[in-house]
Amino acid sequence: MRKINTTDFNVARRTTSRDINRRIALNLIRSHEPISRADLARKMNIGRGVVTILINELIKENLIFEGATGKALRGRKPTFLFVKTDDRLVVAVDIRYSCTYLMLTNFAGKQIVLETFETNLDPARLVDELSERIRRMLDYHKATSRCEGIGVVVPGNVDHQTGCIIRAPTLGWQEVSIIEKLAAKTGLPVQMDNAPKACALAQTWLSRNEATSVQNFVYVSVSDGVGVGIIINGELLRGRDSMAGEFGHIPLVEGGTLCSCGKRGCWETYTSNLATIARYFDEDLNEIRTKPPGKNNNLQTLQLTMTDLIARARAEDAKALAAIKETGRYLGCGLAIIINTLNPERIYLGGEITGAWDLIADIVRDELKNRVIVESAARTPIQIATTIEYPRLRGAAALIVAPTFAALEIA
């Protein structure tokens, strides 16, 4: 049960119950579309007249529309309801050390166009390039009037209230704010958050099927760094200082490899894409990480990506396979800490390493068996989020989409 916060609350008004019912109806339509008014009334256990009022209000607010008619054994054919998604667009931005991804998507998270470019680590110059690319993308697709905002994710801590990037070690940013400048240059509202947290939001708001019933899960994102988004009782956990979920910086090895955060032995320094590639080349992770993109080292000269490394492993490159399996072992160590700490219903795993899941799944499970406190916890379901779906970009889109469907905050 949730305690009422007597210092931060919204008092119920005469329209509160209708607002809540309207939001429930919208989410039921989203989950079960196409759905008729009669079926919606049955699911809500309310009369057809009340449902009609709610539906008319949602149509007026341009949130849903009536589509095709269905078959009926007798009487009037039902008209099906749908959530409006195709003409409501979002620009999603994923800023990483290696490159920046930019995607135009609809309100259902469906990709319309995608482009990537090398990340300029100077925030001001990055904003200039981003705004120019966004304007060009929207103009080309005649989408400016239909775009409802820009969602941006970064690999670091973000103050949810202000959008300020508190610290993003892999980018070398601290106390950096770019959303005001990006909003001014594009004329669109901008929301920013930590990438793994946004991925967790996307799993809740842009996925269907089991995602609507799983209320307690974690999303683990493995890319240039390692981060975790935590959903508890259907709500994203942020923490007092927006630091909830920083499992990537829990030390696994005392006095181990120096991490970008300044500490040693962090989970990230043994599990990230950069860590795996450095292991393959027998290079020092910090040598790779501290050289800006374009400098001459093995990582940049060969343009080796995790996808390339996985392909080498499948082509019987023993060293590549060993590097990936070692990453699997460290991945299992970190997941065991998460399970012992949070005991989630499910773990969603995203990132390029998932392309080698069949090569490391048994290794990960063995580490869980050896490290979790309760035997049954070792069988915690782990579901792979494929890179084809661009989970971080879907997370960025969810920053704009989720408020439309989120429960009203009262009491």
**Domain for residue 179, yes or no?**
yes
Whether residues 187 and 313 share a domain: the answer is no
User: What's the domain count of the chain?
Assistant: 3
DSSP 8-state secondary structure symbol assigned to residue 264: B
Whether 157 and 193 have beta carbons less than 8 Å apart is answered as no
Q: How many CA atoms lie within 13 A of 15 on its CB side?
A: 6
**Domain for residue 62, yes or no?**
yes
SS3 content of the chain, % helix, strand, coil (to 5): 45, 20, 35
Q: What pLDDT sits at residue 74?
A: 53
Among 179, 101, 104, residue whose Cα is nearest residue 141: 104
Whether residues 367 and 268 share a domain: the answer is yes
Question: What's the chain's average pLDDT?
Answer: 88
CA distance 194 to 198: 6
How many other C-beta atoms lie within 10 A of the C-beta of residue 373? 10
SS3 state of residue 310: helix
Q: Residue 249 corresponds to which tokens in the numbers above?
A: 């910086």
Whether residues 68 and 94 share a domain: the answer is no
CA 233 to chain centre: 17
- Cβ-based burial of 346 (10 A; exposed 0-12, middle 13-18, buried ≥19): middle
CATH number for the domain harbouring residue 275: 3.30.420.40
371-411 pLDDT, tens digit per residue, is 999 999 999 999 998 766 788 899 999 999 988 888 777 65
Whether residues 275 and 369 share a domain: the answer is yes
Whether residues 268 and 374 share a domain: the answer is yes
pTM, two decimal places = 0.84
The tens-digit pLDDT sequence of the chain (411 residues) is 677 777 777 777 878 888 889 999 998 998 888 899 989 999 999 998 899 999 999 999 989 998 866 565 555 677 899 998 888 999 999 999 878 999 999 988 889 999 999 999 999 999 999 999 999 999 999 988 899 999 999 988 999 888 899 999 888 899 999 999 999 999 999 999 999 999 998 888 776 554 457 889 999 999 888 999 999 988 899 888 888 999 999 999 988 989 888 899 999 999 999 899 999 988 877 666 555 544 445 444 347 889 999 999 999 999 999 999 999 999 999 999 999 999 999 999 999 999 999 999 999 999 999 999 999 999 999 999 876 678 889 999 999 998 888 877 765
- Cβ-based burial of 60 (10 A; exposed 0-12, middle 13-18, buried ≥19): exposed
- Residues in contact with 214: Cβ distance below 8 Å, sequence separation at least 6, in sequence order: 345, 346
CA distance 232 to 146: 33
Find the domain containing 160 and state its range: 89-201+393-405
CA distance 191 to 200: 15
